[in-house]
Amino acid sequence: MTPETVTGAAAMQERASAWREAGRSVGLVPTMGALHAGHAALLDRARGACDVVVLSIFVNPRQFGPGEDLETYPRTLDADRALAAAHGVDLVFAPGEKEVYPEGFQSTVSVGTLTRRLCGLDRPGHFDGVTTVVARLFGLVRPTRAYFGRKDYQQAVVIRRMTEDLALGPEIVVCPTVREADGLALSSRNRYLSPAERERARAVPEALVEGARRFQAGETGAAGVLKGMEGVLARGADRIDYVAACHPDTLEPVSRLVPGTVLLVAAHVGPARLIDNRILGAPTP
């Protein structure tokens, strides 16, 4: 069944109020479109737990920095709506920029120290854009639960912190990363890669595998493990933004690795900036 598509903020609020009055649970999967199997997994998770599933599609200009790929970011609304239909979505919310940020909009949501490390160092202002749009979507859709992928680990931590701090309401559900057969995490930006770059991009998940292997072998000093990961990553990456070992909740860097420590990497391969992570002690993906 083809889902209803809503483009207006007021119409979205009307639907949300009706669902709330009827006592129906609402699952929201916020995206920028260009959907893939990772998004499909989020939709399936929402479909299994909620009465109503909403997919939002909005390429958010506030989370792109100067020189980033705002203008070239893939926009595939027809294909996205087809995938939504195949996975039981009830409503696609696809607003324009003026519906999300209407005339006179002046608010920005910032989340302290969590956003001033890792990706926040290389993409200043990025997380303010993410948290502001997510808070706005929460206000329009009023979801019971909102679903995010673990590939964007820092983003999930930041959104959970914002949601708890501001008592916004929805339960934040973080779902496992979906990967290609060779281990590369699915991402809308993977389509930027040429076949040769796609082969080199395997160094990103392979670096995480190397970190987990060293930990499983008994190495607990973060410095040595991270150096080994950098060596693997450098085989394929054109530029490395960071290789880090952090506390899973605070994202503070750690010097000793323990089960639950999260390893995170960010690197550029060709035109794509790729991020990935691995939680130590978790089952092998």
Q: Which tens digits make up the pLDDT trace of 29-48?
A: 999 999 999 999 999 999 99
Based on the fold, state whether residues 131 and 50 are members of the same structural domain.
yes
Based on the fold, state whether residues 214 and 163 are members of the same structural domain.
no
Give the residue-averaged pLDDT of 206-231: 98
What is the helix (H) or strand (E) element at residue 242, kind and residue range?
strand 239-246
Q: Which tens digits make up the pLDDT trace of 233-249?
A: 999 999 999 999 999 99
CATH for 44: 3.40.50.620
Based on the fold, state whether residues 61 and 151 are members of the same structural domain.
yes
Report the distance separating Cα 39 and Cα 106, nearest Å.
Answer: 30
pLDDT at 250 over 90: yes
Q: Which residues contact 65 (CB under 8 A, 6 or more apart)?
A: 123, 124, 125, 126
Q: What phi and psi values does residue 148 have, to the nearest 5 degrees?
A: -135, 155
Rounded to 10°, the helix 126-141/9-21 angle is 50
Range of the domain at 149: 4-175
Based on the fold, state whether residues 153 and 207 are members of the same structural domain.
no
Give the residue-averaged pLDDT of 249-277: 98
Give domain status of residue 180, yes or no: no
Give the residue-averaged pLDDT of 250-256: 98
Give the residue-averaged pLDDT of 62-80: 94
Report the pLDDT value the prediction gives residue 2, as an integer from 0 to 100: 87
Q: Give the torsion sign (CA, 42, 87, 58, 67).
A: positive
87 catalytic, yes or no? no
Report the distance separating Cα 154 and Cα 271, nearest Å.
Answer: 22
1: pLDDT confidence band, cut at 50, 70 and 90? confident
The number of residues in the chain equals 285
Give domain status of residue 70, yes or no: yes
Based on the fold, state whether residues 111 and 234 are members of the same structural domain.
no
Based on the fold, state whether residues 165 and 201 are members of the same structural domain.
no
What is the helix (H) or strand (E) element at residue 31, kind and residue range?
strand 26-31
Alpha-carbon distances, residue 70 vs 60, 156, 190 (angstroms): 8, 21, 15
Based on the fold, state whether residues 216 and 265 are members of the same structural domain.
yes
Domain endpoint, select from 136, 151, 175: 175
pLDDT at 209 over 90: yes
Give domain status of residue 223, yes or no: yes
Based on the fold, state whether residues 108 and 224 are members of the same structural domain.
no
Report the pLDDT value the prediction gives residue 283, as an integer from 0 to 100: 66
Based on the fold, state whether residues 12 and 96 are members of the same structural domain.
yes
Give domain status of residue 185, yes or no: no
- CA 27 to chain centroid: 16
Report the pLDDT value the prediction gives residue 26, as an integer from 0 to 100: 98
Domain endpoint, select from 122, 141, 175: 175
Give domain status of residue 183, yes or no: no
pLDDT at 285 over 70: no
Q: Which tens digits make up the pLDDT trace of 134-146?
A: 999 999 999 999 9
Report the distance separating Cα 162 and Cα 134, nearest Å.
Answer: 10
Based on the fold, state whether residues 59 and 165 are members of the same structural domain.
yes
In our burial notation (b when 16+ CB lie closer than 10 A, e otherwise), range 184-222 reads bbbbbbbebbeeebbebbbbbbbbbbbbbebbeeeeeeb
pLDDT at 11 over 90: yes
Give the total number of structural domains in the chain: 2
Give the residue-averaged pLDDT of 148-175: 98
Query: Which entry of 36, 39, 126, 247 is annotated as an active-site residue?
Result: 39
167: pLDDT confidence band, cut at 50, 70 and 90? very high
Give the residue-averaged pLDDT of 186-200: 96
3-class secondary structure, 270: coil
Based on the fold, state whether residues 137 and 228 are members of the same structural domain.
no
Domain endpoint, select from 125, 142, 175: 175
Please give the share of the chain, as a percent, with pLDDT higher than 70.
Answer: 99
